[in-house]
Amino acid sequence: MRSLIDIQELSVAELDELISVAEDIIANPKKYAEIAKGKKLATLFFEPSTRTRLSFEAAMYELGGNVLSVSSAGSSSAAKGESIADTAKTVSCYADIIAMRHPLEGAPYVASLNASIPVINAGDGGHNHPTQTLADLLTIWREKGRFSDLTIGLCGDLKFGRTVHSLIGAMSRYSGVKFVLISPEELKLPSYVKTQVLEANGIEYEENTDLLAVMPRLDILYMTRVQRERFSNQDDYLRLKDSYILTPDKLDGAKKDLSILHPLPRVNEIAVSIDNDPRACYFKQVLNGKYMRMALILKLLGLSTNQACQAEGKEQEAMETSDAFVCQNPRCITTTEQELPQRFKLADKNKRVYRCIYCEAKANS
């Protein structure tokens, strides 16, 4: 039984296999129409969603399966104080697989530790969103035909934008990939993504505040929304929310084959007038997300017809851990989950940096 909490749990070979299955689903939808008959997906969404929840549900229906859904925290016993662990144990009695979104970072991971069925992280706070990355990867593959030798501009809220963290985790495995990180100072990429992912993999990156200055070099521009719901101070949100607004004139210096991606929802980061530009790929991303979620459900339920896809991912390296710290991240699942042990992994052996195993916040020594 296997879950998907972080995109890095999938090897490059497995990503290739998921893309291959998704392409086969697109070409031969009838072949898959009853493949998950009798199986049930539970979508547990404790935070708002349009695309992720509905695409998971559409994916399961198109595979011939059924869906049980919690569409808000207020409509489940979470509102009465039920823990994630108890929720996961309960839903394991009814469903075959869970897709969970939660505002607290590490919540789907805690669910996976307690469920007896696979758990898919459908977005945890500002931490990770691996299935959005699957949608992004299929879009890049279909637009560019490769994952290597690409310069990728990530623009907007790189601090709280969980889709950015997961996309970097996936694309850092390919050769010749460069990242241009475009954000206001206050919304820069978290240091753990820089050290644990970019620097650990020797990936070239630069930080810049000027989108126009870097535009001519980009093969992919990944715009993001400033995540209002993650700010503790709304004045900061109001000051930063319009930092980057892509309008047609700003594309004057862009490559003719630039691909413009956005995980959506959009607020005002991309002018609607760009939607008809052939370089705009964000609604293709939405559709690609459904196909990749279909491929993922098949893989985690052991129903994939692609035999190579049955292989387990690479062995996780044994990690040195400590219980000598208390997580200081107010958005960590440890702040609410009853009797959840504090646990930190040694993320940087040279600098002796420990990070929370649930949310990856740095331990205060």
List the catalytic residues: 51-52, 80, 101, 129
Which of 3, 8, 43, 49 lies at the binding interface for ligand CP (CB under 6 A)? 49
Closest CA to 159 of 211, 230, 223, 215: 230
Classify 292 in phi/psi space as left (phi over 0), alpha (psi -120 to 50) or beta.
alpha
Asked if 166 touches ligand CP (CB under 6 A), the answer is no
Range 280-283 contact pairs with CB under 8 angstroms and sequence separation of 24 or more: 281/139, 281/143
How near is the Cβ of 283 to ligand CP at its closest, in Å? 12
Rule CB under 6 A: say whether 59 interacts with ligand CP.
no
CB of 73 to ligand CP, least distance (A): 15
The answer to whether 285 and 264 have CB atoms below 8 angstroms apart is yes
Q: Which one, 222 or 344, has the nearer CB to ligand CP?
A: 222
| Number of residues in contact with ligand CP under rule CB under 6 A | 9
Site residues for ligand CP, window 237-296 (CB under 6 A)? 263-265
Spatial distance between the Cα atoms of 201 and 190, rounded to a whole number of angstroms:
16
We find the least distance from the C-beta atom of residue 48 to ligand CP, in angstroms, to be: 7
Interface with ligand CP includes 50 (CB under 6 A)?
Answer: yes
* E strand residue ranges, the chain: 40-45, 66-70, 97-102, 119-124, 151-155, 178-182, 204-208, 220-223, 259-261, 321-322, 344-348, 353-356
Interface pattern 119-138 for ligand CP (x via CB under 6 A)? ----x--------x------
Helix axes 282-300 and 130-144, enclosed angle (nearest 10): 120
* Beta partners for residue 321, in sequence order: 345
Measured from the CB atom, the residue of 91 and 264 that comes closer to ligand CP is 264
Q: Are strands 178-182 and 204-208 parallel, antiparallel or unpaired?
A: parallel
Site for ligand CP contains 51 (CB under 6 A): yes
Q: How far apart are CA 324 and CA 326, in angstroms?
A: 7
Given the complex with ligand CP, which of 136 and 360 has the nearer CB atom?
A: 136
Residue 44, beta-bridge partner list: 70, 100
CB 227 to ligand CP: min, Å = 10
Three-state secondary-structure class, residue 103: coil
Judged by beta carbon, residue 265 or residue 302, the one nearer ligand CP is: 265
Neighbours of 51 (CB within 10 A): 17
CA atoms within 13 A on the CB side of 169: 25
Measured from the CB atom, the residue of 265 and 278 that comes closer to ligand CP is 265
Query: Is 38 or 74 the residue whose CB approaches ligand CP more closely?
Result: 74
CB of residue 322 to ligand CP, shortest distance in Å: 33
What minimum distance in Å lies between the beta carbon of 218 and ligand CP? Answer: 21
- CB 356 within 8 Å of CB 106: yes
Whichever of 49 and 87 has its CB closer to ligand CP, that residue is 49
197 binds ligand CP (CB under 6 A): no
Instruction: List Cβ neighbours of 133 (8 Å cut-off, separation of 6 or more).
Output: 7, 163, 166, 167, 169, 170
Q: Taking the complex as a whole, how short is the minimal distance between the CB of residue 331 and ligand CP, in angstroms?
A: 17
Contact residues toward ligand CP (CB under 6 A) are 49-52, 123, 132, 263-265
